[in-house]
Amino acid sequence: MKILTVTAARQNLGAWLRKTLRGEDIGVMIDGAIVAYRPVKVYSEDYAAREYGAMREELDNFVQRVGQQLDADLEARRLKPFTGKLKSAA
């Protein structure tokens, strides 16, 4: 494992993170402990549950309500399609 000081890690953080993605073990020494860089998988489907403690039923109800609101706004012509040009969307 390559062990860095906080200063060394900060100076070229992007390069160290890319090395981590290529499988190298990189750690940073702080207060006598080593904190390792590790790639992690983020799963969006359980983010709300992990981050906010929302239950599956609450999330399903939220998705349904938002869908209904979007459908109503589309029908009432309150939404405009995004064309890729920010000034024309205003």
In a domain, 88, yes or no: no
- Residue 31 tokens read as 């207060």
Question: Is the pLDDT confidence value at 90 over 70?
Answer: no
The count of structural domains within the chain is 2
In a domain, 25, yes or no: yes
Cα dihedral across residues 59, 61, 62, 67: positive or negative: positive
Residues 50 and 66 in one domain: yes
Residues 15, 39: contact at Cβ < 8 Å? no
Question: Is the pLDDT confidence value at 57 over 70?
Answer: yes
Residues 48 and 75 in one domain: yes
Q: 24-56, pLDDT tens digit by residue?
A: 999 999 999 999 999 988 777 777 888 888 888
In a domain, 73, yes or no: yes
In this structure, are strands 33-37 and 26-30 parallel, antiparallel, or unpaired? Answer: antiparallel
In a domain, 89, yes or no: no
Domain hosting residue 71, numbered range: 44-79
In a domain, 87, yes or no: no
What is the C-alpha to C-alpha distance for residues 51 and 85, in angstroms, rounded to an integer? Answer: 33
Strand order in the sheet with 26-30: 2-5, 26-30, 33-37
Evaluate if pTM is beyond 0.85.
Answer: no
In a domain, 18, yes or no: yes
Q: Which residue has the higher pLDDT, 89 or 62?
A: 62
Q: Which pLDDT does position 83 carry in this prediction?
A: 78
In a domain, 86, yes or no: no
What is the C-alpha to C-alpha distance for residues 17 and 59, in angstroms, rounded to an integer? Answer: 33
Residues 29 and 49 in one domain: no
In this structure, are strands 33-37 and 2-5 parallel, antiparallel, or unpaired? Answer: unpaired
